[in-house]
Amino acid sequence: MSQKWVYFFGDGKAEGEGSDKELLGGKGAGLAEMTNIGIPVPPGFTITTGACVEYYNNDRNYPDGLEGQMEKAMEDLEKSTGKKFGDDEFPLLVSVRSGARVSMPGMMDTVLNLGLNDVSVDGLAKSSNNKRFAYDSYRRFIQMFGDVVLGISHNKFEKILRQMKQDKNVEIDTQLDAEDLAKLVEEFKKVVSMETGNPFPQEPKEQLKLAVNAVFDSWNNQRAKTYRKIHKIPHEWGTGVNVQAMVFGNMGDDCGTGVAFTRNPSTGEKEFFGEFLINAQGEDVVAGIRTPEPIKDLQDRMPEAFQQLEEVYRKLENHYKDVQDIEFTIERNKLFMLQTRTGKRTAAAAVKIAVDMVEEGFIDKETAVLRVAPDQVDQLLHPMIDESTSYEAVAKGLPASPGAAVGKAVFNAEIAESMREKGEDVILVRNETSPEDIGGMHASKGILTATGGMTSHAAVVARGMGKCCVAGCGSLDIDEKAKQFSVAGHTVKEGDWITINGTTGEVIIDKVPLVEPTLSGEFAKILAWSDEFRTLGVRTNADTPKDSATARDFGAQGIGLCRTEHMFFEAERIDAVREMILASCEEGRRRALAKVKPFQKEDFLGIFKAMAGLPVTIRLLDPPLHEFIPHTDEDIQRVADASGLQFEELKRKASELHEFNPMLGHRGCRLGITYPEIYEMQCEAIFEAACELGAEGQTVVPEIMIPLVGHEKELSELREMVERVAEESFEKAGRKVEYLVGTMIELPRAALTADEVAAHADFFSFGTNDLTQTTLGVSRDDSGRFLPLYVDKGIYSDDPFVSIDQSGVGQLVEMGVQKGRSVKKDLKTGICGEHGGDPESINFCQKTGLDYVSCSPFRVPVARLSAAHAALKNK
């Protein structure tokens, strides 16, 4: 017997498991589940995602048994509805819909009213006693089928429709009567024969087969592929196909269709949220053709149906214990559900809903924490408009996705992408976005549309991407061809600066200053719960008192990496630093260093104070000397003036210091070995600052970190130096502080000999930026030329500088931890590369048994949440 490819649902029960999204796809699973819990769903059947996979394996042919199973399911559907597919008098019509395991909104297309032809359209007119409805359904069918299945641009149909409305002097589709629609059908059919050379297919069985194939094929259309790439969805999954009996929202004023969320997906507010249209079908609501009405008005318009809808949405939320995004159709006051899925939401909404649902007793804290995606909360840490600035909004649309964005107006997705590639900030301005725009939306800081509601394509996709969006800003007069819009007497052209506020819906023709956000009450709660579950510590990479304070406010438990080179670059110091580098003898260097030391000490005092007793890991000077060399004669002259040295002499010295490959050159602990006085000065500054605060009653435990160690002897020599300077400083200060000496593990040799290195280290901090560079043999600064292509081709599944290369670099980290701990059981280990704020990498750190991660201040909340996810997932 062949495999089961087709699963029926209807008459109160479904063959498939409502939880089996892998098999049925998300939409099919939702339809099955709703059927099983007694919610009114038109009957139908689902062709499995596996059938799609087999279709591709078989060179785009159906697997054995699929055809027969579809025929059988169609018979069951006829029995269930009492109608016949292909009947001339009383035809069964179906929708053919795609549905992958995870929802890919707008990525694959749906065909409605399939089964109609020139004969049965009149049958339908008679049996429904509604000719307008019959021809409305037929013209929709020809257009959708023409577009999705036959590949005819839908503009060709739209143009004719527009023309007809113009000729009849009407605004909207519903004002066209039966005769108009019948004429439209004739013209649409002409388009089809012109474009394809064949008449519109009249045989329903053939229509069905062509439509199913088109859904299978749409899995690999360009925009589906792009969406999968952006959202990291495997290309191997395939899509399910749902064939479902039609219910009709376009039969008159006691009919309609709508979409809704069980709670507000933008704010998380507990309120039923959505839109509907009377006498409409399918995607009219989201397509922005007519402006939909807010769902609360349905109560007055169709009280009976509204009551059914309220019962259903409450039941669904109770059942799924999460916010549902639902689609419904009302046919003659009777409600039918066509879709339910977990509602996509903004980060702010995700946080509020998770907290509310714990308080309502729906879910526990663990679930709440797991419901908030770490990648997503980054949104909450994004800039917003500075409330204290005054600005003038020229228009107001719907606040479709919160946050604010400043960028240059762009009217075309491709241009948005190319400008982004040049490093420009852009805002995509469109009448309405469509799935083809997905790449341009991704490239934009924010999205602004003139039509469409809160559930329009632009709004849904923007919320999913965490981008700010103002939708349905009707007062904008956008001319996409001329690349400009006008509003309230202003004209904005491509490249002009605008600001949009997705939290309020405002549009501003200006660059409005943005400010950094703070943690909201609910977000703080989720993070506090995260702290209960996580076992990894979270520290920050901070070099200034200001960053340190920000990070502490965000919950950092210490500094994992305080770089000291920034302190060297500052204006008042750089000359002294250059003098030090260019000095020809130790004495000259010491003289110059003495000028730098007071600044260093001030820096450390500020940071220690900001961190109020939390651990602070200070990395001694790391960058290549090369980076400090003065380049212009003017710079050299300044050093000459300050030091009394000869200009020519200095210039010669500067050119001698040139390095061919500074990243692998005179840097890191090599500086400490060759010019010990640099590190000595730094250590003195650290210990003096710590002792001074100690005298004031504040405990400071500095952790001194030696960079770029490759050989244990480098560390043993420098450790001796640190200990010596510590003793001297304590002697002078008349008091002691505790301190640690550790090293970065950022060269493969250090990882390979970690047991030897650990003998001299109190802690290891994996510097995964350099470790990635040195392991892959890829310079991060030069990787832009080829790495994006590597990621495109899947050679690396992610940029290895963003998400740690687990099988390569990760092995060295594991080895470092194991070997290190083999000689020192409780060697403290952490990570301080860019990866410390990346959720995937944090999960890796959890599995590897590190003690903490360290990341930039604004990533700290993301890291706390990620660490909780990692702990819960690896329990």
Q: Which spans of this chain sit near ligand ADP (rule: CB under 6 A)?
A: 42, 95, 97, 106, 110, 112, 244-247, 282-283, 327, 329, 338-339
Residue 239 contact partner, candidates Mg ion, ligand ADP, none, CB within 5 to 8 A by sort of partner: none
What type of residue is 826? Answer: D
112 binds, among Mg ion, ligand ADP, none (CB under 5 to 8 A by kind): ligand ADP
Residue with tokens 């923007």: 462
**CA-CA distance, 112 to 461, in Å (whole number)?**
23
Residue 468 bears catalytic tag: no
Helix (H, G, I), strand (E, B) or coil at 257: strand
Residue 463: count other Cβ atoms within 10 Å of its Cβ. 27
Give the Cα separation of 600 and 587 in Å (integer).
Answer: 20
C-alpha span between 273 and 296 (Å, rounded): 8
Strands 506-508, 395-396: pairing kind:
antiparallel
Nearer to ligand ADP, 82 or 197 (CB): 82
d(CA 647, CA 638): 9
Rg (CA), the chain: 33
Q: Please tell me the total number of residues recorded for the chain in this structure.
A: 875
Contact 325, 341 (CB under 8 A): yes
Alpha helix (H) ranges present in 343-456? 347-359, 365-371, 374-377, 413-421, 438-443
Closest contact distance (angstroms) between CB of 44 and ligand ADP is 7
Query: In whole angstroms, what is the distance from residue 25 CA to residue 104 CA?
Result: 11
**Between 33 and 327, CB nearer to ligand ADP:** 327
Residue type for position 710: G
Q: Which residue has the tokens 């050119």?
A: 655
Nearer to ligand ADP, 283 or 684 (CB): 283
- Please, which residue, 76 or 746, has the CB nearer to ligand ADP? 76
244 touches Mg ion by CB under 5 A: no
Helix/strand/coil for 769: helix
Known catalytic membership, residue 473: no
- Which positions from 86 through 125 interact with Mg ion, judged by CB under 5 A? 110
Residues 6+ apart with CB under 8 A from 739: 687, 690, 701, 702, 703, 704, 726
Q: What is the dihedral of CA 761, 767, 770, 776, to 10 degrees?
A: 100
What CA–CA distance (Å, rounded) separates 871 from 536? 8
Tell how strand 44-47 and strand 239-245 pair up: antiparallel
Q: Which does 97 bind (CB under 5 to 8 A by kind): Mg ion, ligand ADP, none?
A: ligand ADP
Q: How crowded is the C-beta side of 791, counted as CA atoms within 13 Å?
A: 16
On whether the CB atoms of residues 785 and 838 are closer than 8 A, the answer is no
Tell me which residue of 222, 207, 8 sits closest to 120, measured CA to CA: 207
Q: Measured at the alpha carbon of residue 374, what is the angle toward residues 385 and 499, in degrees to the nearest 5?
A: 20
Q: Which of 255, 562, 683, 832 is catalytic?
A: 832
For residue 8, what is the enclosing H or E element?
A: strand 6-10
Find residue 765's DSSP bridge partners. 744, 830
- Contact criterion met (CB below 8 Å) for 280 and 256: yes
Within 8 A by CB and 6+ apart from 735, the residues are: 691, 694, 695
Residue 352 burial class via C-beta count within 10 angstroms: exposed 0-12, middle 13-18, buried 19 and up: buried
* DSSP-derived 3-state class of residue 500: strand
Q: Give the nearer residue to ligand ADP in terms of CB position, either 73 or 754.
A: 73
Element (H, E) at 754: helix 754-758
Active-site residue, from 457, 760, 835, 869: 457
Number of H helices, E strands in the chain: 35, 34
By CB under 5 A, residue 339 contacts Mg ion: yes
282 makes contact, choosing from Mg ion, ligand ADP, none, with CB < 5 to 8 Å by partner type, with ligand ADP
Separation of alpha carbons 106 and 374, rounded Å: 25
As a whole number of angstroms, the distance between CA 291 and CA 174 comes to 13
Based on CB atoms, which residue is closest to ligand ADP, 287 or 815?
287
Is 282 or 816 the residue whose CB approaches Mg ion more closely?
Answer: 282
Comparing every residue's Cβ against Mg ion, the nearest one is 339
Q: Which residues contact 707 (CB under 8 A, 6 or more apart)?
A: 619, 620, 622, 667, 668, 669, 743, 744, 746, 767
Nearer to Mg ion among residue 113 and residue 339 (C-beta): 339
Measured from the CB atom, the residue of 173 and 283 that comes closer to ligand ADP is 283
Compare residues 108 and 704 and give the one whose CB is closer to Mg ion: 108
What angle in degrees, to the nearest 10, is found between the helix axes of 49-57 and 204-218? Answer: 80
Angle at 512 between CA 510 and CA 513, to 5 degrees: 150
Residue 97 CB, shortest distance to ligand ADP, in Å, is 3
35 binds, among ligand ADP, Mg ion, none (CB under 5 to 8 A by kind): none
Report the nearest approach of ligand ADP to the CB of residue 105 (Å). Answer: 6
CA–CA dist 226, 104 (Å, integer): 11
Which residues, 6+ apart, have CB-to-CB distance to 364 below 8 Å?
A: 358
From residue 52 to residue 91, the character string flagging contacts with Mg ion as x (rule: CB under 5 A) and all else as - is ----------------------------------------
Residues forming the active site: 457, 832
Interface positions with Mg ion (CB under 5 A): 110, 327, 339
